[in-house]
Copies of this chain bind each other. A is one copy, B any other.
């Protein structure tokens, strides 16, 4: 008899840890599409494009995974249209990995009407009414054709009353079970899309532990850690994160959703997190705030008007190879659209470089010194979620 097809084994994603340093780990994720290294930072391509960049730019930067937002894409241009054009990879001509969120984060920011069945919300585009269920979120992400999908979860803001956080944990667990079941037929038919569960629980350590245990019991390909970077301080976030990673299995990737500020990233890696996404580098870039090894730099400042240096001396990004702070400040000052692209190229390059350095430090067994060196430069609250 022939061996069973890979799909029946349920193994569509594997995760090999190459090195550890304390709880931090460096590894490789393998999917049907190929591999990507972890820890990984995933630039956010909300509407099937990272703002100001093309897939050619992202290839040049060496990005390995892009995040796309289900909420935005289901409304504009619609999941079926994207499916018809070859899924997100065909639509944007992007051969790297794509991870799609479930739409839950944006929907909950709209204060939807929520029942056990799902969430009813109004489109921010045209006010039309939509109903998103765990099964619907699975179907939409199947149409989008992403490599990694996320289950629909309930993400309360911070602070929320204990009963709200408890309810979010219970409903997220219920919905995770339904999302897993909804994805079963496709998986049985050979789908190679991975599916990640999501842990909730706010900053309540007991609820974090419980939510992690209930999610892990469903056996997902990887685990998202949601409900953080939603208004709490970093001092509140890190213990909740630690309580979560303590429960998550070592052989599956862990994805801290919506976090991308340098200090939170390196602290989270120290707690065993493997994957990150955040609009921070791209949003900051559009406002002229530049990420450098010495901290933030506001290129709009008058002191850069005649500065012939690149954004960061020694940087190998496409922008720093050619253009000066003076030129970029001028382009921003006169609202030339190329400015935002050039600063975005630098910031994404810089954050990808930071995560590269984290990987190297783990492999070298010097992660703690690396973590402290980043924390010494960067002292800021966690970055924001969302587009």
Contacts and interface: CB of A to CB of B under 8 A. Distances in A.
Interface string A340-378: 111000000000000000000000000000000000000
Interface majority SS (helix, strand, loop, mixed), chain A: loop
Interface stretch (A2-10, A50-58, A115-123, A256-264): A50-58
A298 B227 CA distance: 43
B85 A326 contact: yes
Nearest to A48: B330
Contacts of A47: 330-331, 334, 336
A36 interface: no
A81 B51 contact: no
Nearest to A336: B49
B85 A333 contact: no
A341 B53 CA distance: 9
A338 interface: yes
Given A47-B334, A49-B331, A305 B342 contact: no
Given A81-B305, A84-B306, A327-B91, A334 B76 contact: yes
Interface string A228-240: 0000000000000
Interface stretch (A163-171, A184-192, A209-217, A316-324): A316-324
State how many copies of this chain the complex holds.
2
B55 A322 contact: yes
Interface in A19-61: 47-49, 51-56
A337 B330 contact: no
A318 B56 contact: yes
Given A56-B322, A81-B306, A305-B81, A337 B334 contact: no
A332 to B, nearest CB: 11
Nearest to A84: B306
Contacts of A51: 336-338
A331 B324 CA distance: 29
A162 to B, nearest CB: 39
Nearest to A50: B338
Nearest to A77: B330
A93 interface: yes
A308 interface: yes
Given A323-B93, A327-B48, A342 B81 contact: no
A174 interface: no
A83 to B, nearest CB: 11
A92 interface: yes
A338 B81 CA distance: 20
B52 A337 contact: yes
A326 B76 contact: no
Contacts of A49: 331, 336, 338
Nearest to A85: B326
Interface in A80-99: 81, 84-86, 91-93
Nearest to A81: B306
A338 B52 contact: yes
Contacts of A330: 47-48, 76-77, 91
Contacts of A72: 334
A308 B81 CA distance: 11
A127 to B, nearest CB: 16
Contacts of A334: 47, 72, 76
Given A48-B327, A305-B81, A308-B85, A53 B93 contact: no
11 contacts: A48-B327, A51-B338, A54-B342, A56-B322, A77-B326, A77-B333, A81-B305, A85-B306, A85-B324, A91-B324, A337-B341
Interface of A: 47-49, 51-56, 72, 76-77, 81, 84-86, 91-93, 305-306, 308, 318, 322-324, 326-327, 330-331, 333-334, 336-338, 340-342
